[in-house]
Structure 1
Amino acid sequence: MSVTRSVIISQHGAPSVMTLETRDLPAPGPGEVQIRHTAIGFNFVDIYQRSGVYPLALPSSLGFEAAGVVVEAGPGVDGFKPGDRVAYVNAGLGAYADRRNAPADKLVPLPDTVSDEAAATLLFKGLTAQFLLRKTHAVAPGDLLLVHSAAGGVGQILTRWATALGATVIGTTSSPHKKEAALAAGAKAVIDLNDPAWPEAFLQATGGRKARVVYDAVGKDTLIRSLDCAAPFGLVVSYGGASGPAPAIDPDLLNKKGGLFLTRASIFAHNADTASLRANAADLFDAIAKGHVGVDIGRRFPLDQIAAAHEAAEARAVIGAILITP
């Protein structure tokens, strides 16, 4: 039996509700492996779960993305052995820990071309970009894309990868000081969402051309007006709700706006089975190796400073990814 430090919440609330507890960790069961974490990813959904926006059954652990090394394989596990480098994004809550047991079929092997830190900060966000660019719409050279929150974690990856595929990206940000990050990621122009006339600013930036695809992670504050930025028969993809849940839309409005297509997409549906997860991850890792996707770590926080990491994220004080170190 091993020992692990794990972040636990017994109630929803502010960052202070998180406690770091030392617990016994049993040997991995059938179909499981035990992983020693080397890098732990942070995602804004962690805040939603901690605060109760997405309620959890309490007490609960937190975190669902990490990279590390296999230390023990349980009965019936094929394909993984001690010493193998692995990462995961949907193996159940518990990534905020020194080590944990996880289902082997939820793991992806890491190639030598991808570091542990890159995997822990890019797997969730990168797989989100992967299904948006490859599955929801197969981005092609010449496509004009509008990417909301282009300076955010997913937004920067989307912008870099789409640009590498030959598309032109116009980005938006809600903070003027983040404009340079979106431009550095490859956006041709960046629109300020604080300007009530941002759809008009988008059209001005494109010479009146509308987008083949609008990627909207903002939700409540932007989705209706995002429809005005899509070309006839274009696609509007809602994949997040940073400003709150997206509003309901009358299907007839899509007809009036140009016969538009609207979808609500999720990383989990696209990676629900092991074969799809590993194939999609391999596509992402190939993009990393080619330099189409890069990691931009804004700050690192030790696991025992997890509350400070959440506070910094809620204050929007970090540009780039937050990484938790065990």
Structure 2
Amino acid sequence: MKAIRIPRFGDHEVLSYEDVKLPEPGAGEVRIKQAAIGVNFIDIYHRKGLYPNDLPFTPGSEGSGTVDAVGEGVTDLKVGDRVAYAMALGAYAEYFVIAASRLVPVPEGVSLEQAAAVMLQGTTAHYLATSTYQLQPGDTALVHAAAGGVGQLLTQIAKLCGARVIGTVSTEEKADLARSLGADEVILYTQENFEEVTKRLTAGKGVQVVYDSVGKDTFNQSLNCLRPRGYLVLYGQSSGPVPPLDPQILNAKGSLFLTRPSLGHYIATREELLQRAGDVFDWIAAGKLRVRIDRSFPLAQASSAHEYLEGRQSRGKILLIP
């Protein structure tokens, strides 16, 4: 079968399209014939070595497809079942073996492409809005990169929770997209100081929560956007890692909360995985959650997909199609 391999850490050009041995499922495992594979910033972090793995390796953390073979002891899945997964390294391949316990059934009304597009970003948006900081009606949330993959879904889920959403974006096109998904106010950070505008929009009070996937470039101003006892939820670092922080700053700015969550800790049990993915799939099937797939690349063009994502060109999810 074909797979993408990373022989050394580096830029997008290190991604190599190679022949590898077809994997066989062991006890409790399932082999999937993949239909679609999600491309995410965490794949770039892995490729660059920011989240190091033993070399060489196959990147990718999310996908969907149909069950192709089952290992010993697997009784709740059969060949032909539609399934999806996240947080399982090695997804950039035509076939993928994974523990059956980490698979989620894809219901009718949700395509395999939609499933691959939301397993990581959709469940991330779900835990951010419902668990890390549980949004309540009347809350105001500042969502950075509101037109990005997680940002689009997080904006919509925040509105389902009854919150007011202030989104930051870089262009007028992205501003229109964020508004179409429910953002109440949109700040073009390339033209305005998002801290000043956020304070003006909240009459100087600040927001209950900032969802920040950008990191270094936004972190300090994000803290300044919070009201006393507000939450800064730092869930990414697309602009680079945040420098060390003296915790006394959190006190000085109003007894603030800072958390650096990760999806793996919020889908640690099968029950929680099924609950989060199930909610996301139900919202999609009911038409309450729009999934925007921006571009699909052949698996062989994974390098181009990474270049596209890193270039800030995407307006939604990027998929690889084996």
Q: Give the TM-score normalised by structure 1.
A: 0.94
Q: Does 1:7 align with 2:12?
A: no
Correspondence for 2:64:
67
CA RMSD of superposed structures (Å): 1.6
Q: Is the 8 A contact 2:23 2:95 kept in 1?
A: no
Q: After alignment, is 5-14 or 140-149 more displaced? A: 5-14
Correspondence for 1:105:
101
Deviation of 1:9 after TM superposition, in Å, equals 1.6
Deviation of 1:195 after TM superposition, in Å, equals 4.9
* 2:55 counterpart (37, 40, 58): 58
Q: Is the 8 A contact 2:11 2:48 kept in 1?
A: yes
Q: After alignment, is 21-30 or 163-172 more displaced? A: 21-30
Q: Tell me how far apart the structure 2 counterparts of residues 72 and 95 of structure 1 sit (CA, whole Å).
A: 17
Correspondence for 1:270:
266
Name stretches of at least 5 consecutive residues in structure 1 with no aligned partner.
Answer: none
Deviation of 1:200 after TM superposition, in Å, equals 0.8
Deviation of 1:29 after TM superposition, in Å, equals 1.0
Correspondence for 2:79:
82
Q: Is the 8 A contact 1:30 1:75 kept in 2?
A: yes
Q: Does 1:114 align with 2:110?
A: yes
Sort the Cα spacing of 1:44 and 1:26 in 2 relative to 1 into closer, same or farther, 3 A: closer
Sort the Cα spacing of 1:185 and 1:60 in 2 relative to 1 into closer, same or farther, 3 A: same
Deviation of 1:176 after TM superposition, in Å, equals 4.6
Q: Tell me how far apart the structure 1 counterparts of residues 194 and 21 of structure 2 sit (CA, whole Å).
A: 53
* 1:154 counterpart (150, 153, 158): 150
- Point out 4+ residue stretches in structure 1 off by more than 6 angstroms: none
Q: Give the TM-score normalised by structure 2.
A: 0.95
Q: After alignment, is 72-81 or 171-180 more displaced? A: 171-180
Q: Does 1:33 align with 2:30?
A: yes
Correspondence for 1:214:
210
Q: Is the 8 A contact 2:41 2:238 kept in 1?
A: no
Q: Tell me how far apart the structure 1 counterparts of residues 245 and 104 of structure 2 sit (CA, whole Å).
A: 38
Q: Tell me how far apart the structure 2 counterparts of residues 209 and 184 of structure 1 sit (CA, whole Å).
A: 26
Correspondence for 1:46:
43
Q: Tell me how far apart the structure 2 counterparts of residues 46 and 64 of structure 1 sit (CA, whole Å).
A: 7
Q: Tell me how far apart the structure 1 counterparts of residues 239 and 227 of structure 2 sit (CA, whole Å).
A: 24
Q: After alignment, is 315-324 or 121-130 more displaced? A: 315-324
Number of aligned residues: 322
Q: Is the 8 A contact 1:216 1:222 kept in 2?
A: yes
Deviation of 1:274 after TM superposition, in Å, equals 1.8
SS of structure 1 residue aligned to 2:138: coil
The sequence identity of aligned pairs, in percent, is 47
Correspondence for 1:307:
303
Q: Is the 8 A contact 2:23 2:96 kept in 1?
A: no
Name stretches of at least 5 consecutive residues in structure 2 with no aligned partner.
Answer: none
Q: After alignment, is 260-269 or 116-125 more displaced? A: 260-269
* 1:205 counterpart (173, 177, 201): 201
Q: Is the 8 A contact 1:67 1:119 kept in 2?
A: yes
Q: Which amino acid aligns with 2:140?
A: L
Q: Tell me how far apart the structure 2 counterparts of residues 259 and 15 of structure 1 sit (CA, whole Å).
A: 41
